[in-house]
Chains A and B, each alone.
Chain A
């Protein structure tokens, strides 16, 4: 089976940094995605990791350790618009297996 765990909720202050952890145990692995989903909207792509290490893209960075089955998404210089759900998803050949999502609330 597929097991993907991430925290349910996180709260942070505008301008701060937040790290969302994701651990996974899956039958296959072709990479790990992070998606952002605002309430009532479609998930949108943030990042993709297939090799170990850090991928940086502006204020967002994502890290992967395949041996540990672990990833994190780092959000820097938080803005109010970053309040959303962040979804960790493992690519199993073609279909994505998702965690339940982490709701991040940014406070002024």
Chain B
């Protein structure tokens, strides 16, 4: 596609349920990133993929959060046993690589609301 796409655009779930968020990066982009944007706060780095490997998972808030990437393309962020504090916009970004001037292209995000 022309840009990074994410689905669903909105997700409302009950506390304790599991959710899966999907990201389709720009074709040919080897690097993929997940960020979280909470109301009134800056984007918070969650995890970074280079190809199918995740060299940096340091931003994942707890072991309820996991992510995978298959075929060097689509990525899924899974949140198990959701809590109300997980409510945020989850943004995915991709880039050609990690060389200098590594412009990241962002998707529109998934707005997650945990009731």
Binding site for B on A (CB under 8 A): 4, 30-31, 33, 35, 40-45, 48, 50, 87, 89, 91, 93-101
Instruction: From A42, A50, A89, give the contact of B4 (CB < 8 A).
Output: A42
Cβ of B72 under 8 Å from chain A: no
A-B contact count (CB 8 A): 60
Known contacts A41-B108, A42-B108; is A91 also within 8 Å of B42 by CB? no
The reply to whether B56 and A94 form a contact with Cβ atoms under 8 Å apart is yes
Cβ of B53 under 8 Å from chain A: no
In the complex the two chains form, what is the Cα distance from A35 to B41 in whole Å? 15
The reply to whether B91 and A42 form a contact with Cβ atoms under 8 Å apart is yes
Cβ of B40 under 8 Å from chain A: yes
Interface residues on B, range: 20 to 34
Cβ of B26 under 8 Å from chain A: no
Known contacts A94-B98, A95-B33, A95-B45; is A33 also within 8 Å of B103 by CB? yes
The reply to whether B48 and A95 form a contact with Cβ atoms under 8 Å apart is yes
The reply to whether B108 and A30 form a contact with Cβ atoms under 8 Å apart is no
B102 to chain A, nearest CB (A): 6
Cβ of B112 under 8 Å from chain A: no
B104 neighbours in A (Cβ, 8 Å): 45, 96
In the complex the two chains form, what is the Cα distance from A94 to B50 in whole Å? 10
